């Protein structure tokens, strides 16, 4: 496999050109990944530069500078410390957690060993505080494959959008967020930007790394608006962000005071552990591990960004290789034939699978877009339906309000007409009464002066009239009369009729009250006849009360004015109208009550009320008093 190739040595040397970067020396055994970090979740945030940096007194604080041995990565890290010492219960709480878990402190040192020198090189190149080298403890516990439920990944827990913003590629072959070298450069650039944004206040900068620039900016503006301090410790933040900075300060304090807290710091020399090799093109990872003469799993711990069995076809074409294996790797790479760099069959299968995956992804994306479009169309249709329904409801409501207003207007009009009719009826009754009185006086045969010992009976007999007629004509309340009283004597021909019509008129006037008027709603099948019969009226009277003709049709729902009491109209009321007259009728043989009522246009009830003798039955020769409408041409 490693036989010489026909390719020129210079070409292979170009492909194997090396770019050395700092890593620390560790044993060659695989790095153990065990335990769990105290925090493995970073809330999602959107990178959004603020318009101006926030000033803070933290940038002016004096820091305790480490002056010990820098032969180890821990000594070098401590010499780069720049954050102020903070005395806070929140920091002490996190510190106590670390002190209660010494095994965890040992594990994170083992995991950090291959990466710490590289991290310190990047921090030093950007003049960043050494405490930031411990940020992966808080983010991922130095597990490069760490993945959070917010879709953050890698040592520095980049979410996809922020990773892409800082140039970290993400595709089916490669995830730059898990690339040790690429993600470290991106994270230190991100932290440098945050430090500049917040004027060197690293507590605010670190809180922004966790919660987002924009959110921290809003929290600061809220405190400014409320007149409160704007430092990190005074902001109203989510619990995760309130614990985030104290966790970093606590682990930094623990490493700075390891002897005080009886914590063993592992002896990791401050020397390069690995180098970045530009391999030039795609390479199978198992081949690369074999050329580096190290187990595949250990090799992948240095190169966790690749997601398949080989590096990405379109790059990046670099690998981290331990310095102790660098020369051997270079020699083997130079001897490797180009066509053996990748298992072509496997590559073709992977490429085919990748094309199928992309096609499936495109199909799924297309279906998802169609589903979204369909859902949007359905939402729009639902909105239109709701708007249409709302419009119909509003229209129905307006129609109902209009109908109600129209009904009230019609009722008011009918009531006004009823009042006018009642006034006209009262006026006519008054005129009728006056005419009756005139007729009454015209019917008098003369005057008679009561003599001593005379009674109304004797006077009525003497003058061929009745006691009732005398009392009516002279407005007498009793049957007795005083000596010397001058009485008016009605004619015998008209005395009884005048008395009865006068009584009818009086009773009709007393029983006709405007407040007794009411309405009847016409039902399906109603006619003037059956409605008038229900209220003991004549069809013509009912039609006149409502300004209609008996020949007209009633419609369902129509409201009719019913004058008089809540019960039926009495025959006396009919007699009191302007065109009423009294008829005397002698029952003939073969007559029936129905025939008589039909003949004179009256109801049976009115006929019975005017003739109490009908209670004994209708018989030939019975004299009936019938009050009827004289204007009816059929009578």
pLDDT tens readout for residues 235-272: 999 999 999 999 999 999 999 999 999 999 999 999 98
DSSP characters over 362-388: HHHHHHHHHHHHHHHHHHHHHHHHHHH
List the Cα angle 242/160/42 in 5-degree steps.
Answer: 15
Strands 274-278 and 18-20: antiparallel
Q: What percent of the chain has pLDDT over 90?
A: 38
Place of tokens 């390719």: 7
Over residues 346-365, the mean pLDDT reads 75
Shared-domain flag, residues 626 and 527: no
* 587 found inside a domain: yes
Neighbours of 69 (CB within 10 A): 12
Distance CA 210, CA 219 (A): 14
Of 269, 304, 322, the position where a domain reaches its end is: 269
* 215 found inside a domain: yes
Shared-domain flag, residues 552 and 578: no
- Which of 301-305, 334-338, 478-482 has the highest average model confidence (pLDDT)? 301-305
> Which pLDDT score is estimated for 562?
84
* Of 399 and 489, the one with more pLDDT: 399
- Give the three-state DSSP class for 290: helix
Shared-domain flag, residues 174 and 255: yes
> Which pLDDT score is estimated for 507?
46
* 47 found inside a domain: yes
Distance CA 21, CA 118 (A): 7
Q: Is 379 exposed, middle or buried (0-12, 13-18, 19+ CB in 10 A)?
A: exposed
pLDDT band (50, 70, 90) for residue 141: very high
- Give the three-state DSSP class for 580: strand
Distance CA 488, CA 465 (A): 11
Over residues 168-190, the mean pLDDT reads 95
Q: Is 426 exposed, middle or buried (0-12, 13-18, 19+ CB in 10 A)?
A: middle
Are the CB atoms for 456 and 474 separated by under 8 Å?
no
Distance CA 149, CA 358 (A): 25
To the query of whether residue 139 is one of the catalytic residues in this protein, the response is: yes
> Which pLDDT score is estimated for 484?
84
Shared-domain flag, residues 528 and 582: no
Distance CA 286, CA 299 (A): 9
pLDDT band (50, 70, 90) for residue 46: very low
Shared-domain flag, residues 554 and 625: no
Distance CA 419, CA 410 (A): 14
- For the chain, the domain total comes to 3
- Give the three-state DSSP class for 283: coil
Of 269, 303, 336, the position where a domain reaches its end is: 269
Distance CA 284, CA 264 (A): 39
Q: Which domain holds residue 226?
A: 35-269
Using the predicted structure, report yes or no on whether residue 43 has a pLDDT greater than 50.
no
Largest separation between any pair of C-alpha atoms in the chain: 175
Shared-domain flag, residues 105 and 176: yes
Shared-domain flag, residues 535 and 632: no
Shared-domain flag, residues 557 and 593: no
**Which residue in 268, 29, 275, 299 sits closest to 144, CA to CA?**
299
* 443 found inside a domain: no
Over residues 553-557, the mean pLDDT reads 82
**Which residue in 44, 47, 45, 50 sits closest to 199, CA to CA?**
50
- Which of 109-123, 335-349, 410-424, 442-456 has the highest average model confidence (pLDDT)? 109-123
Using the predicted structure, report yes or no on whether residue 574 has a pLDDT greater than 60.
no
Lookup: tokens for 431: 């005129």
Distance CA 245, CA 387 (A): 52
Place of tokens 């944004």: 197
Shared-domain flag, residues 541 and 584: no
* 429 found inside a domain: no
Shared-domain flag, residues 606 and 619: yes
Distance CA 226, CA 382 (A): 44
Quickly count helices (H) and strands (E) in the chain: 23, 9
Over residues 65-84, the mean pLDDT reads 83
Using the predicted structure, report yes or no on whether residue 215 has a pLDDT greater than 60.
yes
Helix (H) or strand (E) holding 277: strand 274-278
* 203 found inside a domain: yes
Phi, psi of 447 (to 5 degrees): -120, 155
Lookup: tokens for 526: 């109603």
Of 562, 588, 621, the position where a domain reaches its end is: 562
* Of 138 and 533, the one with more pLDDT: 138
CA torsion, points 3, 7, 8, 12, in degrees to nearest 10? -80
pLDDT in tens, 377-434: 888 888 888 898 999 999 999 998 999 899 888 888 888 888 888 888 778 777 766 6
Over residues 93-101, the mean pLDDT reads 96
- Number of residues in the chain: 635
Are the CB atoms for 203 and 252 separated by under 8 Å?
no
Helix (H) or strand (E) holding 301: helix 296-302
Are the CB atoms for 329 and 337 separated by under 8 Å?
no
Lookup: tokens for 167: 């140039």
Using the predicted structure, report yes or no on whether residue 545 has a pLDDT greater than 60.
yes
**Which residue in 575, 633, 632 sits closest to 609, CA to CA?**
575
> Which pLDDT score is estimated for 3?
34
Lookup: tokens for 49: 């530069």
Distance CA 278, CA 290 (A): 17
Shared-domain flag, residues 194 and 120: yes
* 464 found inside a domain: no
Over residues 341-368, the mean pLDDT reads 76
Distance CA 52, CA 589 (A): 120
Shared-domain flag, residues 256 and 197: yes
- Give the three-state DSSP class for 171: coil
Looking at residue 614, which CATH number applies to its domain?
A: 3.10.350.10
Lookup: tokens for 158: 């980049």
Catalytic residue among 25, 122, 131, 139: 139
* 326 found inside a domain: no
Using the predicted structure, report yes or no on whether residue 6 has a pLDDT greater than 90.
no
């Amino acid at each position: 496999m490693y036989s010489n190739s026909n390719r020129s040595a210079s070409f292979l040397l170009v492909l194997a050109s090396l770019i050395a970067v700092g890593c620390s020396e560790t044993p060659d055994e695989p790095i153990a990944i065990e335990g769990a970090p105290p925090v493995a979740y970073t809330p999602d945030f959107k990178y959004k530069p603020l318009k101006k940096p926030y000033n803070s007194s933290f940038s002016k604080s004096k820091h305790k500078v480490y002056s010990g041995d820098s032969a180890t990565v821990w000594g070098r890290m401590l010499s780069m410390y720049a954050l102020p010492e903070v005395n806070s219960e929140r920091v002490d709480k996190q510190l106590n957690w670390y002190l209660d878990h010494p095994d965890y402190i040992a594990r994170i040192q083992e995991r950090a060993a291959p990466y710490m020198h590289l991290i310190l090189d990047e921090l030093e190149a950007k003049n960043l505080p050494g405490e930031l080298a411990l940020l992966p403890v808080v983010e991922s516990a130095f597990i490069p494959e760490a993945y959070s439920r917010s879709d953050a990944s890698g040592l520095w827990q980049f979410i996809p959008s922020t990773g892409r913003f800082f140039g970290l590629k993400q595709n089916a072959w490669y995830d730059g967020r898990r690339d040790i070298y690429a993600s470290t450069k991106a994270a230190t650039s991100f932290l440098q930007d945050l430090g500049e944004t917040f004027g060197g206040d690293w507590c605010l900068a670190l809180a922004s790394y966790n919660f987002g620039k924009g959110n921290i900016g809003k929290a600061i503006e809220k405190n400014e608006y409320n007149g409160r301090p704007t430092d990190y410790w005074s902001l109203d933040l989510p619990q995760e962000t309130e614990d985030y900075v104290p966790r970093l300060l606590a682990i930094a304090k623990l490493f700075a005071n390891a002897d005080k807290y009886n914590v063993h710091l592992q002896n990791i020399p401050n020397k390069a552990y690995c180098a970045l090799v530009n391999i030039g093109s795609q390479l199978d990872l198992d081949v690369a591990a074999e050329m580096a003469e190290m187990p595949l799993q250990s090799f992948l711990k240095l190169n966790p960004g690749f997601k398949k069995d080989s590096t990405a076809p379109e790059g990046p074409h670099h690998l981290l290789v331990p310095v102790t294996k660098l020369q051997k790797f270079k020699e083997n790479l130079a001897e490797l034939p180009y066509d053996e760099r990748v298992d072509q069959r496997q590559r073709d299968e992977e490429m085919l699978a990748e094309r199928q995956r992309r096609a499936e992804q495109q199909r799924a994306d297309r279906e998802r877009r169609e589903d979204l479009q369909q859902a949007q169309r359905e939402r729009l249709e639902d909105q239109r339906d709701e708007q249409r329904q709302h419009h119909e409801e509003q229209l129905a409501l307006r129609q109902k309000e209009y109908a109600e207003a129209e009904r009230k207007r019609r009722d008011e009009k009918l009531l006004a007409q009823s009042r006018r009719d009642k006034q006209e009826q009262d006026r006519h009754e008054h005129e009728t009464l006056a005419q009756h009185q005139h007729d009454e006086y015209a019917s008098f045969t003369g005057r008679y002066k009561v003599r001593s010992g005379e009674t109304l009976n004797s006077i009525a007999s003497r003058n061929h009239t009745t006691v009732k007629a005398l009392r009516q004509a002279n407005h007498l309340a009793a049957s007795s009369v005083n000596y010397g009283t001058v009485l008016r004597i009605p004619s015998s021909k008209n005395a009884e009729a005048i008395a009865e019509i006068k009584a009818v008129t009086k009773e009709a006037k007393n029983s006709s009250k405007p407040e007794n008027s009411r309405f009847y709603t016409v039902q399906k099948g109603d006619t003037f006849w059956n409605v008038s019969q229900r209220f003991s009226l004549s069809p013509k009277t009912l039609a006149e009360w409502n300004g209609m003709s008996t020949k007209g049709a009633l419609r369902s729902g129509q409201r009719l004015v019913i004058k008089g009491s809540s019960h039926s109209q009495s025959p006396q009321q009919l007699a009191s109208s302007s065109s009423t007259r009294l008829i005397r009728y002698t029952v003939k043989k073969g007559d029936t009550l129905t025939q008589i009522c039909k003949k004179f246009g009256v109801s049976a009830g009115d006929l019975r009320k005017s003739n109490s003798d009908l209670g004994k039955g209708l018989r030939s020769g019975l004299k009936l008093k019938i009050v009827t409408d004289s204007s009816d041409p059929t009578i």
